A and B are shown apart, each in its own frame.
Chain A
């Protein structure tokens, strides 16, 4: 009697002969398609064109002056509203000026949560009720080594923090940007982990230079610049200045900010402007002021050292970049 050994491979696992014969066809077709798509991507946008500046918004009333304002030549409206890093509206500098045009900022709610007595969902009108606004002309330094002088309108973040009554456990604040794939085409691709998150130590957040901005050039802040409410911390790189804030949370532990999560060897939590600590791929010792040809020397703490250096005394700023 012959006992037939069982086949090692079940017949269902054997590739259909037709498919097998077609595999080269398949590889060729896949490669061809991938190459064609890739060719399309590299050919698209072959020619640049200038972006359109933001339309002018409502004028803000009773805006006071501030002794903190820099006495430097302010950048143009066109520059401030066409050259933006706001990845929720695309990764090109001019994409936010085009894709944020119809972004809806009314009504707007800011949720306050975490280690504080006054947890609440605030309507933006209520945040601004009775709040004196000031113009703050600040130096703005991007981590990409360009800079601008920007006439923000806003109010000290500390004013709002006091209303929230943080508990002694609150050591840091975590801010979150709106996540809305319907309105923000950029968040549909996973270039960063959404929503965008940033953080400050409580003393940094309470510092009088730190503001929440609601305006630019005396008008309501344009969408591409972070409407309706954005953070401005002038001694830190621009990516700390979180835009379109929907959540403020008081926390005990240092938050993990989005860029640090994305590339920890390049972007840290503190991100203080520091000409002596280079980005791995470029120098931070100098910067291009938008509108100028020769580069300027970057100033320690972006020139705000007199006011803020004390907060970091004894800290190794090379390690805490």
Chain B
């Protein structure tokens, strides 16, 4: 019951953009609005995705794991819209069309224009890397792929999302001309969510040796006991 609701709510920003665009509720530069909004929603969904684990650990509400995949896929969805808006509104719209708009030269020139921009401008390079880093995560998000990869390898691969979120913040920071208050806010949220994981890993490492004492039946080692305190 909750899952379809979450799905519909996650489509809300997309629906809102379309509605606002059609009814003239965007600014005088609607393409810039679409670019900004899809970018910011990508970051918001990345934050939600990263918040699921801390939420489970802190509240014990383990069922929250059910929403992690959908949140991650929506981050990819908005990230892809963001990338496509850039390709169309920024790159395609600036092309010359020597053979008309529908022509092979258009495809070739567009690919060249995107490639050059990604190569030349660090701000775009970071943005493109952010989006690219989500592709393998989206592709391996199905239950079949989890099984095929095996839990351990899948988990390792999906730690890539830490990089995605960090690069996303850098990309946003870079965009802003002077007022960095919003990028700072994203930096704090992503930073806290990542710090929680470091803290969690440390806490686990600290208790791990004691657990081993109970399971392998060997005699306790001094240093292990010492670290277990």
Contact = CB atoms under 8 A, between A and B. Distances in A.
B13 A46 contact: yes
Interface of B: 13, 16, 20, 24-29, 31-33, 37, 40, 43-44, 47, 89, 93-94, 117, 121, 123-124, 174-175, 177-179, 181-182, 184-189, 192, 195
Contact of A293 (B16, B31, B44, B187): B31
A51 B27 CA distance: 7
Which secondary structure dominates chain B's binding surface?
Answer: helix
Interface of A: 31, 34-35, 37-39, 41-43, 46-51, 75, 78-79, 82-83, 87, 91, 93-94, 144, 146, 189, 191-192, 262-263, 280-283, 285-286, 288, 290-291, 293-295
Nearest to A292: B93
Contact of A34 (B20, B89, B188): B188
A83 B28 CA distance: 6
A193 to B, nearest CB: 10
A290 B89 CA distance: 13
B171 to A, nearest CB: 11
Nearest to B24: A50
A93 B185 contact: no
B71 to A, nearest CB: 15
Contacts, number: 106
A100 B28 CA distance: 18
28 contacts: A35-B188, A37-B185, A37-B188, A38-B184, A39-B185, A39-B189, A42-B40, A42-B189, A46-B44, A47-B13, A48-B20, A48-B27, A50-B25, A50-B26, A82-B27, A87-B179, A91-B178, A91-B179, A93-B27, A94-B27, A144-B177, A263-B177, A263-B178, A282-B123, A288-B32, A291-B28, A293-B89, A294-B94
Contacts of A39: 47, 185, 189
A189 B185 contact: no
Contacts of B121: 280-282
B167 to A, nearest CB: 16
Contacts of A294: 93-94
Nearest to A75: B28
B27 A38 contact: no
B50 to A, nearest CB: 12
Contacts of A75: 28
